[in-house]
């Protein structure tokens, strides 16, 4: 005989099992051991190890390892001694539950068997113990069915059939209406079902029942459900190998009014308040609480009904928290005045409760600041920063898009930016701007809207980026929606919504709803500020904000940004008041005309920058020179063609009107008639219309000249600054003059100028030459130099490859990972997320969406090379990231590893990034 297996211990009493060894005892078993050993009153029991399971499954005849049943019998005797009851004793029967439990929680495995140990004799003992025949027979028929199904493989339908037959006979609709006699009949019929199906009588010997149950638990590890589950969730043997079996003494909460059952959290999971939170039922079993047959009472009431139990529950709460140092969600049963803890686990809480409990537990000395930070997933903070859909609201989404900017909002649908402005700003309505996709010229519509919905575009599309910057919800790329701007209607499958109809969007999930769904307001609590201050103490990455306007900058400060890492200047160009000047500059045929328009833009830009500097003083403000292709500021070609057709029609009409008024003046010569005709002539001045036509034609010509098949890879960024130097020169002048003006007023400013889309040092040198010349002029004019930095975006693959050369000119690098991801994958950032990326993610060709989670293996590798090579040339070069990944926790951890100095993200994302930066620093320390 194999002596090794004899000497191996397979069965562990709760007092002796190692509560940390989940691999050997399973999660549940280890937890029961730990609870017992810290002095909680857990019903006595023991665990049969996962090693026994693996040995059993390996044995050709599926036999339990030698000695296991001896150990089990010995443990049962210990249970008998502890409880004073006897396993199989008809006078005072000991009953147990049998449960599976592996190192990972796995719903694919065996269900729990309750009341094991019941047979026709012990049943009478149970009835005597409880004084309740109905309860006794109910327990018995449940045991036969569960044991029959999970341990003996009898199909449920066979039991259901008998159950329904008795109900019919008794003319009873609900189970609750069955009498003890009915339940007795059911259990007798169930025994017959088992015998007929298995060919053997239902096992009456409790030890035989136990052995069968143990084997059934072990077998369930290789059951189809469990195998499929492990495959689906990638549970490897390393994570969980085999299941343990937990055998636990049954305790009953339904043995009279000195018994009961309940569930509780050691603190309030909704608010974090340091007070026991939960509910209970007297004279009831756990099932009654779950099934909702009776309404449980709030835990406070227990103080009146059972003061001693309430005191013991407080004691239990203190023990749980001081041991686990985490909020616990636990189950308890009171059996005849004795409190048992059946289960405990870390409590799941909302963000507000997580933050409050982190801060309070640190103050109570339960956890350190580092633990307080690490127990909160940074993304969870979003709940505290944006309105959410009320979790209690039940609503069916009509469409699903990309969750492009978090938060939820309701409002009436409008289909263009002007209308949004009119309804939102002027008429004070709450509106949701619905577009196929948005363009820079829609910006005024963003300001006036509660949220943005587009049917095209990805998470780095214009709509997504701008909405995130403003902290407004956005659902992008909801391709199930067809937007018909002309009819002012959107079609979603069978339904549709028109302008003026209320819709709700949830930018956190990407869902779109018809009608108004209630929302819950965010809560930026004082505890959150405390927690984030601790985060800043440990973080080494600085967190800056992407902010384009003074309002954005103010919100960046509110959220704790240490500077602006990216101000996209195109937002300023799109202000409705100055867009006409920008258009004038673009359509200008000569450089003199262009300069004239730029001269008008200069003071406007200067004041934009001055305001940004003032708000952020003394923090750095990084301004990016113009990036998008300039045709984006012009109207769409088709729109211009349509407008020209209208204008030409109007020109004919006005000519006709002139003829008409001339004719009429000959016929009606009175003064009054003449005055009316003069007014009419002024109104329909054909010269005005001709002028409008000429302007539109010029614009159309320009739009056609500027047309590019692939504008994203086209005439944009620094290419624009080199072909139209006067645009960049105007911006550079505006930055330096604004800084000089601030300095003159005693305001400390740290402007940084950065150049987009650079791929060679020659481009940077060219722009730097503009900067140097203009700086000289500004120095002369203001009488002092301006303290500024000059740097580059790194968003082109060649820029990474030539980093050592770029660093000769650039004092800082700012990774534009939106474009760099696009360039590295050759995936269009506008289309990929709606077309093939979902399938790539589903079929795990790619694990994540690279526009959301930084692709460490590819894009990250390029970044690391660029940092290394850049530092070889300029060791103190300041390096950061300003793509959308700058606000994403795991990407932030990578930035720390890659040696970056800062991350920059949209203002409302700054708190998430601050906590993630702390996690990254703490992770790096481990
Ligand atoms: C980027 O490309 O990552 C970036 C920040 O610039 P934009 O999104 O404006 O192209
Ligand atoms: Mg870019």
Helices (H), 684-834: 686-706, 718-723, 725-744, 761-782, 797-801, 803-809, 817-825
Give the C-alpha distances (Å, rounded to integers) separating 544 from 588, 616, 754, 767.
37, 11, 15, 25
Q: Which residue did the predictor score with more confidence, 613 or 584?
A: 613
Alpha carbon 150 to chain centroid distance? Answer: 38
Identify whether 715 is a catalytic site residue. Answer: no
Closest-lying ligand 1 atom to the alpha carbon of residue 817: 3
Pairing verdict, β 388-389 and 564-568: unpaired
Overall average pLDDT of the 868-890 stretch: 97
Count of C-beta atoms within a 10 Å radius of residue 177: 11
pLDDT higher than 90, residue 89:
yes
pLDDT higher than 90, residue 84:
yes
Q: What is the DSSP letter of 297?
A: E
Q: Which residues touch 660 (CB under 8 Å, ≥6 apart)?
A: none
The rounded distance, in Å, linking the Cα atoms of 22 and 243 is 10
Residue-level pLDDT at 771 = 98
| Pocket (CB within 6 angstroms of ligand 1) | 460, 465, 566, 568, 627, 795, 816-819, 882-883
Q: Which residue did the predictor score with more confidence, 875 or 7?
A: 875
**pLDDT tier for residue 86 given thresholds of 50, 70 and 90:** very high
**Residue whose CA lies nearest to ligand 1 atom number 6:** 816
Overall average pLDDT of the 535-542 stretch: 98
- 849 CA distance to ligand 2 middle (Å): 18
pLDDT higher than 50, residue 406:
yes
Q: Which helix (H) or strand (E) holds 80?
A: helix 68-83
Name the active-site residue from 474, 742, 800, 882: 882
- 712 CA distance to ligand 2 middle (Å): 9
Residue-level pLDDT at 4 = 43
The rounded distance, in Å, linking the Cα atoms of 640 and 65 is 84
pLDDT higher than 70, residue 669:
no
Nearest alpha-carbon partner for 635 in 710, 579, 590, 571: 579
Q: Which ligand is nearest to the CA of 459?
A: 1
**pLDDT tier for residue 98 given thresholds of 50, 70 and 90:** very high
Pocket test residue of 404, 462, 465 for ligand 1, highest count of atoms within 8 A of CB: 465
Name the active-site residue from 10, 341, 444, 462: 462
Residue-level pLDDT at 439 = 83
- 458 CA distance to ligand 1 middle (Å): 13
Structure tokens at 117: 């140990």
pLDDT higher than 90, residue 464:
no
Q: Which residue did the predictor score with more confidence, 630 or 609?
A: 609
**Residue whose CA lies nearest to ligand 1 atom number 10:** 819
Closest-lying ligand 1 atom to the alpha carbon of residue 816: 3
- 815 CA distance to ligand 2 middle (Å): 9
pLDDT higher than 70, residue 1:
no
The rounded distance, in Å, linking the Cα atoms of 571 and 550 is 12
Pocket test residue of 462, 623, 759, 818 for ligand 1, highest count of atoms within 8 A of CB: 818
Identify whether 462 is a catalytic site residue. Answer: yes
**Residue whose CA lies nearest to ligand 1 atom number 1:** 816
CB 906, CB 468: distance < 8 Å: yes
Q: Which residues touch 15 (CB under 8 Å, ≥6 apart)?
A: 33, 36, 37
The rounded distance, in Å, linking the Cα atoms of 519 and 908 is 18
Residue-level pLDDT at 673 = 74
Overall average pLDDT of the 770-776 stretch: 98
- 416 CA distance to ligand 2 middle (Å): 26
CA end-to-end distance (rounded Å), the chain: 48
Closest-lying ligand 1 atom to the alpha carbon of residue 795: 2
Pocket test residue of 883, 884, 900 for ligand 1, highest count of atoms within 8 A of CB: 883
Helix %, strand %, coil % of the chain (to 5): 50, 15, 35
**Residue whose CA lies nearest to ligand 1 atom number 9:** 568
The rounded distance, in Å, linking the Cα atoms of 734 and 699 is 27
Pocket test residue of 882, 900, 905, 909 for ligand 1, highest count of atoms within 8 A of CB: 882
Give the pLDDT confidence of 699-737 residue by residue, as tens digits: 899 889 888 888 888 999 999 999 999 999 999 999 999
Task: Give the mean pLDDT of the chain.
Answer: 92
The rounded distance, in Å, linking the Cα atoms of 810 and 898 is 19
pLDDT higher than 60, residue 551:
yes
Q: Which residues touch 310 (CB under 8 Å, ≥6 apart)?
A: 302, 303
Helix 351-363 / helix 526-538 crossing angle, nearest 10 deg: 70
- 244 CA distance to ligand 2 middle (Å): 54
Q: Which ligand is nearest to the CA of 817?
A: 1
pTM: 0.82
The rounded distance, in Å, linking the Cα atoms of 560 and 911 is 7
Residue-level pLDDT at 283 = 86
Residue-level pLDDT at 864 = 98
Residue-level pLDDT at 3 = 40
For 390, phi then psi, to 5°, come to -60, 120
Closest-lying ligand 1 atom to the alpha carbon of residue 822: 2
pLDDT higher than 50, residue 381:
yes
Give the pLDDT confidence of 131-189 residue by residue, as tens digits: 889 989 999 999 999 999 989 999 989 999 999 999 999 998 877 788 999 999 999 99
pLDDT higher than 80, residue 677:
no
Lowest mean per-residue pLDDT among 484-493, 676-685, 689-698 = 676-685
How would DSSP label each residue in 465-525?
Answer: HHHHHHT--EEE--TTEEEETTTTEEEETTEEEETT-EEEEETTTTEEEES---EE-----
**Residue whose CA lies nearest to ligand 1 atom number 4:** 816
Give the C-alpha distances (Å, rounded to integers) separating 357 from 268, 368, 498, 821.
9, 12, 46, 39
Residue-level pLDDT at 469 = 77
Give the pLDDT confidence of 286-304 residue by residue, as tens digits: 766 655 557 788 999 999 9
- Tokens 């994958």 appear where? 825
- 819 CA distance to ligand 1 middle (Å): 6
Residue-level pLDDT at 204 = 95
Give the pLDDT confidence of 791-810 residue by residue, as tens digits: 999 999 999 999 999 999 99
Q: What CA dihedral angle connects 548, 552, 558 and 559, to 10 degrees?
A: -70
pLDDT higher than 90, residue 748:
yes
Give the pLDDT confidence of 20-70 residue by residue, as tens digits: 999 999 999 999 999 999 999 999 999 999 999 999 999 999 999 999 999
Q: How many residues does the chain have?
A: 926
Residue-level pLDDT at 206 = 97
Give the C-alpha distances (Å, rounded to integers) separating 426 from 232, 409, 430, 438, 631.
54, 19, 11, 21, 29
Give the pLDDT confidence of 618-668 residue by residue, as tens digits: 999 999 999 998 888 888 889 889 999 999 998 888 888 888 877 877 777
pLDDT higher than 60, residue 6:
no
The rounded distance, in Å, linking the Cα atoms of 137 and 66 is 36
**Residue whose CA lies nearest to ligand 1 atom number 8:** 818
Residue-level pLDDT at 292 = 57
- 815 CA distance to ligand 1 middle (Å): 9
Q: Which helix (H) or strand (E) holds 620?
A: strand 620-624
Give the pLDDT confidence of 223-246 residue by residue, as tens digits: 888 888 888 888 888 898 999 999
């Amino acid at each position: 005989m194999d002596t090794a297996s004899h000497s191996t211990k397979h069965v562990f009493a709760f007092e002796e099992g190692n509560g940390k060894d989940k691999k050997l005892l399973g999660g549940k078993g280890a937890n029961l051991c730990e609870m017992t050993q810290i002095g909680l009153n857990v019903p006595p029991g023991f665990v049969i190890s996962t090693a026994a399971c693996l040995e059993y499954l390996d044995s050709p005849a599926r036999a339990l390892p030698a000695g296991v049943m001896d150990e089990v019998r010995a443990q049962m005797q210990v249970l008998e001694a502890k409880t004073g009851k006897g396993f199989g004793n008809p006078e005072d029967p000991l009953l147990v539950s049998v449960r599976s439990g592996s190192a990972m929680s796995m719903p694919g495995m065996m269900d729990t068997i309750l009341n094991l140990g019941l047979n026709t004799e012990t049943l009478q003992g149970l009835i005597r113990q409880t004084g309740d025949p109905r309860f006794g027979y109910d327990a018995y028929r449940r045991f036969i069915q569960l044991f029959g199904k999970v341990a003996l493989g009898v199909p449920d339908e066979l039991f259901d059939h008998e159950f329904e037959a008795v109900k019919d006979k008794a003319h009873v609709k609900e189970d609750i209406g069955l009498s003890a006699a009915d339940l007795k009949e059911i259990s007798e019929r169930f025994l017959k079902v088992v015998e007929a199906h298995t060919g053997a009588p239902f096992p009456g010997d409790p030890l035989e029942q136990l052995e069968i149950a143990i084997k059934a638990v072990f077998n369930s590890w290789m059951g189809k459900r469990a195998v499929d589950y492990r495959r689906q969730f990638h549970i490897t043997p390393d994570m969980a190998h085999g299941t343990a079996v937990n055998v636990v003494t049954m305790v009953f909460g339904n043995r009279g009014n000195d018994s009961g059952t309940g569930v509780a959290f050691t603190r309030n999971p909704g608010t974090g308040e340091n007070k026991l939170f939960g509910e209970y039922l007297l004279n009831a079993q756990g099932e009654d609480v779950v099934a909702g047959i009776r309404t449980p009472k709030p835990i406070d009431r227990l103080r009146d009904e059972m003061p001693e139990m309430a005191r013991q529950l407080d004691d239990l709460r203190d023990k749980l928290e001081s041991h686990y140092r985490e909020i616990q969600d636990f189950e308890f049963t009171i059996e005849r005045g004795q409190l048992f803890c059946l289960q405990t686990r870390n409590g799941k809480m909302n963000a507000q409760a997580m933050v409050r409990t982190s801060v309070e537990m640190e103050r109570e000395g339960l956890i350190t600041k580092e633990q307080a930070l690490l127990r909160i997933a940074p993304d969870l903070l979003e709940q505290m920063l944006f309105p959410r859909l009320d979790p209690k609201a039940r609503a069916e989404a009509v469409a699903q898009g990309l969750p492009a900017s978090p938060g939820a909002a309701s409002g009436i649908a409008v289909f263009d930016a002007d209308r949004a402005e009119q309804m939102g700003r002027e008429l004070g309505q709450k509106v949701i701007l619905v577009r196929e996709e948005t363009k820079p010229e829609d910006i005024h519509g963003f300001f006036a809207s509660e949220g943005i919905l587009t049917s095209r575009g990805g998470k780095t599309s214009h709509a997504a980026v701008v909405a995130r910057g403003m902290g407004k919800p956005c659902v992008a790329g909801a391709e199930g929606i067809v937007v018909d701007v002309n009819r002012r209607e959107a079609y979603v499958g069978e339904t549709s919504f028109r302008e003026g109809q209320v819709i709700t969007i949830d930018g956190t999930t990407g869902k779109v709803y018809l009608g108004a769904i209630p929302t819950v307001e965010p809560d930026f609590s004082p505890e959150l500020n405390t927690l984030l201050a601790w985060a800043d103490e440990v973080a080494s990455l600085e967190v800056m904000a992407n902010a384009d306007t003074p309002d954005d900058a103010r919100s960046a400060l509110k959220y704790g940004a240490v500077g602006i890492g990216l101000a996209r200047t195109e937002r300023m160009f799109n202000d409705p008041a100055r867009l006409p000047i920008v258009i004038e500059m673009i359509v200008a045929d000569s450089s003199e005309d262009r300069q004239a328009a730029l001269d008008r833009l200069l003071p406007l830009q200067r004041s934009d920058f001055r305001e940004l500097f003032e708000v952020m003083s003394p923090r750095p403000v990084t301004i990016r020179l113009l990036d998008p292709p300039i045709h984006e500021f012009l109207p769409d070609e088709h729109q211009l063609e349509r407008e020209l057709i209208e204008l030409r029609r109007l020109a004919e009409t006005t000519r006709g009107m002139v003829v008409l008024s001339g004719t009429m003046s000959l016929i009606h010569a009175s003064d009054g008639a003449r005055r009316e005709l003069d007014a009419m002539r002024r109104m329909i001045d054909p010269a005005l219309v001709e002028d409008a036509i000429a302007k539109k034609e010029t614009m159309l010509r320009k739009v056609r000249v500027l047309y590019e098949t692939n504008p994203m890879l086209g005439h944009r960024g620094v290419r624009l600054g080199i072909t139209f130097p006067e645009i960049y020169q105007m911006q550079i002048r505006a930055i330096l003059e604004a800084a000089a003006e601030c300095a003159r007023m005693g305001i400390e400013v740290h402007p940084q100028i950065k150049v987009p889309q650079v791929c060679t040092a020659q481009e940077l040198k060219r722009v730097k030459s503009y900067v140097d010349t203009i700086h000289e002029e500004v120095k002369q004019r203001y009488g002092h130099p301006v303290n500024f930095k000059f740097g580059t975006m790194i968003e082109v693959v060649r820029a990474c490859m030539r980093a050592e050369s770029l660093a000769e000119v650039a004092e800082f690098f700012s990774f534009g990972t939106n474009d760099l991801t696009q360039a590295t994958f050759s995936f269009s950032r506008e289309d990929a997320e709606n077309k093939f990326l979902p399938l790539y993610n589903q079929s795990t060709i790619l694990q994540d969406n690279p526009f959301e989670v930084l692709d460490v293996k590819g894009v990250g590798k390029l970044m690391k090379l660029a940092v290394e090579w850049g530092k070889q040339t300029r060791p103190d070069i300041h390096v950061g990231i300003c793509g959308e990944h700058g606000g994403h926790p795991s990407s932030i951890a990578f930035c720390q590893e890659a040696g970056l100095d800062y991350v920059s993200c949209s203002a409302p994302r700054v708190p998430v990034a601050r906590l993630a930066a702390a996690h990254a620093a703490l992770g790096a320390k481990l």
